[in-house]
Amino acid sequence: MSVLDKIISAKRRRLSIKKLSNTFSDHYIENSPDTKVLKFFETLNSAKGSYKIIAEIKKGSPSAGIIIDDYHPEEIAKKYLEKGFTNLSVLTEEDFFYGSPRHINIIKKMTNTPILQKDFIIDEWQIYHAKTLGVSCVLLISEVLTKAEIKSFIKIAKSLDLDILLEFHEESEMQKILDVDLEYIGINNRNLKTIQTDIDHCLKIKEKYYNELERFKIVAESGFSSKKELERYKTNEIELFLIGESLLKEKL
């Protein structure tokens, strides 16, 4: 069983319990009437600075293990904001990334910065739940969804005024994503099945399928550890990045 299979198996078990109570209100963020949930990609595109980065907040991962022992997501969010990052990604997967939807609750109390909920969505329930958390964007992972599920989940998310980041790693997933009604897609340099990372993977996919991917704005994900790597991507017309571990370890 691959790492991704184990994550999805654990997610199904947890989700079956959560759906029994259907308590969206457990994590509901009550915004004041004049508080606007900012559009995720609109904010990212207007970000100043050399790189447009989605700064990720997480305690750990299957590839890195525990990154931060004394984990306080609100403190990390504050540091990111002080450094000028305009968009956050928050891991909420419990068993392998040590996250929780409550972490979004904590962060939302201190900032209205647009947040991507980073989790493994396999059921429409999770999209409705994401809306109650006050996030601006949800992640869909092509490898764990059918083409029909992808289209259905995109439709639901849009009906809730949520942005969507659809990501993939394997070339075989291309047939699922080429006709989706989205402007943005993510290409993950990390293979979630093996946890192996190739920093050039996204560039290779873009070059090989240039015509097919030309209509999308690409978010390059995972593995970045230097500004030199970011610059190489920028010279290849990719300027949007999702970065976690290197920022958390202050390597970037």
Instruction: Residue 104: count other Cβ atoms within 10 Å of its Cβ.
Output: 25
Query: One of 191, 222, 229, 245 is an active-site residue; which one?
Result: 222
Active site residue: 61, 89, 136, 188, which one? Answer: 188
Residue 24 is given by DSSP the state G
- 211 in active site: no
Kindly provide the b/e burial profile for residues 60-82, where b requires at least 16 CB atoms within 10 angstroms of the residue's own CB: bbebeeebbeebebbebbeebbe
Q: Is 158 among the catalytic positions? A: no
Q: Which of 143, 221, 229, 245 is catalytic?
A: 221
58: annotated active-site residue: yes
The active-site residue out of 56, 93, 143, 229 is: 56
Alpha helices in the chain (DSSP H): 3-21, 40-45, 73-82, 101-108, 124-133, 147-159, 174-177, 201-208, 210-213, 227-235, 245-248
Catalytic residue among 167, 173, 239, 245: 167
Q: Is 212 helix (H, G, I), strand (E, B) or coil?
A: helix
Report the distance separating Cα 224 and Cα 84, nearest Å. Answer: 18
Catalytic residue, from 118, 131, 176, 206: name it. Answer: 118
Is 221 considered catalytic here?
A: yes
* Choice among 52, 58, 131, 176 that is catalytic: 58
* 136 is an active site residue: no
Residues with catalytic roles: 56, 58, 118, 167, 188, 221-222
